[in-house]
Amino acid sequence: MEPTIPLAPRSLLFVPAARSGMIEKAAGLPADLIVLDLEDAVRADEKAAARTALPAAIDRLGPRAAIRVNAPDSAHFAADLAAIRDIAGPLIVVPKVECGAELAPLAGRAVLAMIETPRGVLAAAEIAASPGVVGLMIGTNDLAAALRLPPDAGRGAMTLALQHVVLAARAAGGWAIDGVFNALADADGLARECAEGRALGFDGKSVIHPGQIAAANAAFSPSPAELDEARALIAAATGGAERFRDRMIEDMHVETARRLIERAR
């Protein structure tokens, strides 16, 4: 893994690349990354138009733009590669990655690899360590289907996979991005899932509706109390093991506090 984007996104909003109105609206939203989708959000008969629309959409969105291509084993992948060949800069999101070799056609590009299948989960460490990969994103909907989970299974059935993706991403030094929350009207459920994702070690969350952005940004940002605690710890630390506010701290706690402060926006 070769992280080239220094700060992991708290929120990644997916927008169909062919829908200019939605892209225009997204430009005014506070999502950290806006992913121009060529895959699930675009019908087969609209994919050519979506590819053609990419340059204008990227110009409109600026550095927050990313592009999700179709899966490496898809019949649409080659056309996607041709469409992005001369588009420099944007992060490329690749769905359903199952091994590092599948990313070879994207050499020289920054890649966020989506882990959405059992094979992808088992190969997550290899994928995360592949050249150009800046992080992993778990695709919980496709993974649940591939695992044949019942509709009411809940995220608890995927805890092992969630943790495995975080471990693989961290071992390679990159981002870990949580999957989508499907219940658009369940604000409390979204907040709980975001908090759970952060507790598992994820840096941010993919979102599918503008109304989900604020919750993701809030959950994956340090709170004022956390920032105050981090600054006080750094100020008090003198090196090595010592006591701080009735607990023992070491150099690793100082580093953790510094990383937390870096996440503040």
What dihedral do alpha carbons 102, 200, 177, 4 form, nearest 10°? -80
- pLDDT given for residue 4 in this prediction: 46
Query: In angstroms, rounded to a whole number, what is the distance separating the alpha carbons of residues 42 and 45?
Result: 8
Average pLDDT over every residue of 107-124:
98
- pLDDT given for residue 6 in this prediction: 66
pLDDT exceeds 70 at position 50 = yes
Any idea where the domains of the chain sit in the sequence? Answer: 11-221, 226-262
Q: What is the mean pLDDT of the chain?
A: 95
The pTM assigned to this predicted structure is 0.91
Average pLDDT over every residue of 26-51:
96
Length of the chain: 265
Q: For the purposes of burial, counting CB atoms within 10 Å of the CB of 154, is it exposed (0-12), middle (13-18) or buried (19 or more)? A: exposed
For residue 188, what pLDDT band results from cuts at 50, 70 and 90?
very high
Q: Cα Rg for the chain, rounded, in angstroms?
A: 19
Average pLDDT over every residue of 80-91:
94
Q: Of 217, 141, 130, nearest to 174 (Cα)? A: 130
Q: Of 194, 97, 183, nearest to 142 (Cα)? A: 97
For residue 3, what pLDDT band results from cuts at 50, 70 and 90?
very low
Query: In angstroms, rounded to a whole number, what is the distance separating the alpha carbons of residues 171 and 137?
Result: 15
What percent of the chain is predicted at pLDDT more than 70? 98
- pLDDT given for residue 214 in this prediction: 98
pLDDT exceeds 80 at position 265 = no
Average pLDDT over every residue of 33-58:
96
pLDDT exceeds 70 at position 1 = no
Quickly count: other Cβ atoms within 10 Å of residue 258's Cβ. 13
pLDDT single digits (tens) 226-257:
999 999 999 999 988 999 998 999 999 999 99
Average pLDDT over every residue of 155-169:
97
- pLDDT given for residue 264 in this prediction: 86
Domain 11-221 has CATH 3.30.565.10: no
- pLDDT given for residue 262 in this prediction: 86
DSSP string of the chain?
----SSS--SEEEEEETT-HHHHHHHHTS--SEEEEESSTTS-GGGHHHHHHHHHHHHHHHGGGEEEE---TTSTTHHHHHHHHTT--S-EEEE-S--SGGGGGGGTTS-EEEEE-SHHHHHTHHHHHTSTTEEEEEE-HHHHHHHTT--TT--GGGGHHHHHHHHHHHHHTT-EEEE-----TT-HHHHHHHHHHHHHHT--EEEESSGGGHHHHHHHTS--HHHHHHHHHHHHH--SSSEEETTEEE-HHHHHHHHHHHHT--
Quickly count: other Cβ atoms within 10 Å of residue 125's Cβ. 17
- pLDDT given for residue 89 in this prediction: 87
For residue 201, what pLDDT band results from cuts at 50, 70 and 90?
very high
